[in-house]
Chain A
Amino acid sequence: MDMTDMNSAATTTPSGRRQGEVILDLQNISLRFGGVKALTDISFNIREHEVRAIIGPNGAGKSSMLNVINGVYHPQEGRIMFRGQQRQKMEPHMAAQQGIARTFQNIALFKGMSVLDNIMTGRNLKMKCNLFQQALWLGPALREEIVHREKVEEIVDFLEIQHIRKTPVGALPYGLQKRVDLGRALAMEPQILLLDEPMAGMNVEEKQDMCRFILDISDQFGTTIVLIEHDMGVVMDISDRVVVLDYGKKIGDGTPDEVRNNQDVINAYLGSGH
């Protein structure tokens, strides 16, 4: 695989999706918890507008990788370049301010709140009224609430969850919760959307819906998508480039076809004895 080529200017992928500049560049990332090495010397980049998949067996460090990208974990070594600037140590909410949103593997919705309120929290960064205006619910606060409500309703329409908008999320079936989780991330109007196993535990119809949503997000909003997924069929179909992790190390990086034929990757998935 030719690394120099990958860092050059915008290209077009086999899927026909336009692919922009490198937006996020991870260089030599290592992450340890005490003595346990979760990630070792991992480098890869993410280009604007692409669908980038991270795959690997259980425990390969995929979720840790996402947590590094959005600032939940702080790697001991390595650099993260965001739009060409080195990122300082940061908290998750700062990543959110830079336009990085994510969904969670074990749905992390606010279970005491309705679907609308959950998605509205995603608008939080864009709401500017102060405490006193909110306390009195007058003028600016009311107008702001309505403006953002309209945005949220667009997302509700997009994800086809109109009928449950006032239901507490705790009462929803799993598949719908996953959609709300996606909706909340979308409400941030993110530049980079991190999806942690968006299709885990879904049946075929739900998976198809979710795939459609992901592709629509990519096409309509041009959002860069980083995806962790176990379903190889899905990954190979919708992603532009794939990075493969195993035991915290990178063992492959490239287009789906390149990765599919990579011997290390085959060994990791089937065991090296084969």
Chain B
Amino acid sequence: MFYRENGQFKTSYAADQQIFTIAQDKWFVWGLIAFAALAVPMLADEYMFRAILIPFLVLSLAALGVNLLVGYCGQITLGAGAFMAIGAYAAYNFMVRIDGMPLVLAMLLGGVSAAAFGILFGIPSLRVRGLYLAVATLAAQFLCDWAFLRIGWFTNHSSSGSVSVAKLEMLGWVIDSPTEKYLFCLAFVIAFAFIAKNLTRAAIGRQWMAIRDMDVAAEVIGIRPMFAKLSAFAVSSFFVGVAGALWGFVHLGSWEPAAFSVDRSFQLLFMVIIGGMGSIMGSFFGAAFIVILPIFLNQFLPLLGSLVGVTVSTAGISHAELIIFGSLIIFFLIVEPHGLARLWSIAKQKLRLWPFPH
């Protein structure tokens, strides 16, 4: 009834190529952004910011990056955690080694460093695909795990092996309260989400999807596989690297290499699968789901246990988490490869016809 597009006519190709071709979608997203920027800081408490909202935003950004590579370009990666690490440690080194380095610039440079390594580890994708590529990206993961643990230079020879950023400051604005940290992350995420959307609807996005869907045909119509694949690796790693810098600087404050282990890589891949491969929106859904589920299980399982007279141990909860994640991945890959994002668009289709069932 209220979600219908009649009366909205496109009179130019420019109008037809907007991000949101349906006015209601546009208002919904702007409303959401306004809500996140204005209302949430007033409503949420510190726990919400620390445990849910900030991790959600940062991991959304990382998942977005992984989605560009996996969902749009069809190149599998099991090493996203490594590129988060590169982003974080590179940004740290830019901060520590260059006096007066602006915070945002350091983070972006962290992203650029990650992009450079992304290209390097993307080179095998020119010769191999699928599982072979998974191995190449795992190599990146283990090399980084090792390098940041063993090579003192990266951690500025910190004796404990962990590094920390003293003070987050941008143009005189000191970012220390959870609300400010949240807004800082939010700004990054909104900007990058629009960039991601633009890239995926532009020529480069079409190149990525062409390579994903049918690489030989893509090459035959003149797409250079090398450029398409490596640019996907670069852009994806850039996103992931910036997310890594945010994760280290803003969420953790001080961190060790274990913060970016292979488990993190798997987690990011799962976000993309559950949220929806090849969907910007899906990256957010996936991140939200994976951040919230463990918290939910921690609250809910002991409660359920006490109802039936069983005490659920912490180990029991973490096992249940494994089982649920695993089952969901299997479920989505079998039933709905486009993940939660697909369910969202089905809901929108239904809403268009509402109140009629067909």
Contacts and interface: CB of A to CB of B under 8 A. Distances in A.
A145 interface: yes
Nearest to A135: B195
B221 A96 contact: yes
A6 interface: no
B210 interface: yes
A97 B224 CA distance: 10
A131 B222 contact: no
Contact of B14 (A96, A129, A136, A146): A146
A183 to B, nearest CB: 11
A117 interface: yes
A125 B220 CA distance: 11
A153 B202 CA distance: 17
Contacts of B207: 121, 124
Interface stretch (A35-43, A56-64, A104-112): A104-112
Nearest to A184: B221
B224 A93 contact: yes
Contacts of B199: 131, 134-135
Interface on chain B toward A: helix, strand, loop, or mixed SS?
A: helix
* CB-based closest 7 A-B pairs: A96-B222, A108-B217, A110-B213, A134-B202, A137-B198, A125-B222, A92-B219
A149 interface: yes
Nearest to B71: A112
Interface string A4-29: 00000000000000000000000000
B221 A113 contact: no
B203 A129 contact: yes
A258 interface: no
Contacts of A153: 13
Interface residues of A, number: 42
Given A104-B217, A110-B213, A110-B214, A124 B223 contact: yes
The interface size bin for chain B is: 20 to 34
A104 B222 CA distance: 15
A92 B216 contact: yes
Given A117-B209, A135-B198, 20 more contacts: A72-B216, A92-B216, A93-B225, A110-B217, A110-B218, A113-B206, A113-B209, A121-B206, A124-B207, A124-B223, A125-B222, A131-B235, A136-B195, A137-B198, A141-B202, A142-B17, A146-B12, A149-B16, A153-B13, A188-B222
A136 B218 CA distance: 25
B203 A127 contact: yes
A239 interface: no
Contacts of A111: 213-214
Nearest to B198: A137
A122 interface: yes
Contact of B204 (A91, A112, A125, A134): A134
Nearest to A126: B222
Interface string B220-237: 111111000001000100
A120 B206 CA distance: 8
Contacts of B12: 146
B195 to A, nearest CB: 5
Contacts of A127: 203
A70 interface: yes
A101 interface: yes
B278 interface: yes
Contacts of A108: 214, 216-217
A136 B216 CA distance: 29
B230 to A, nearest CB: 11
A129 B201 CA distance: 13
A51 interface: no
A125 B199 CA distance: 17
Contacts of A250: none
Contacts of B204: 131, 134
B206 A185 contact: no
B212 interface: yes
Contact of B223 (A112, A117, A121, A137): A121
B17 A110 contact: no
B206 A131 contact: no
A111 B212 CA distance: 10
A134 B209 contact: no
Contact of A109 (B212, B214, B220, B235): B214
A96 B207 CA distance: 14
A150 interface: yes
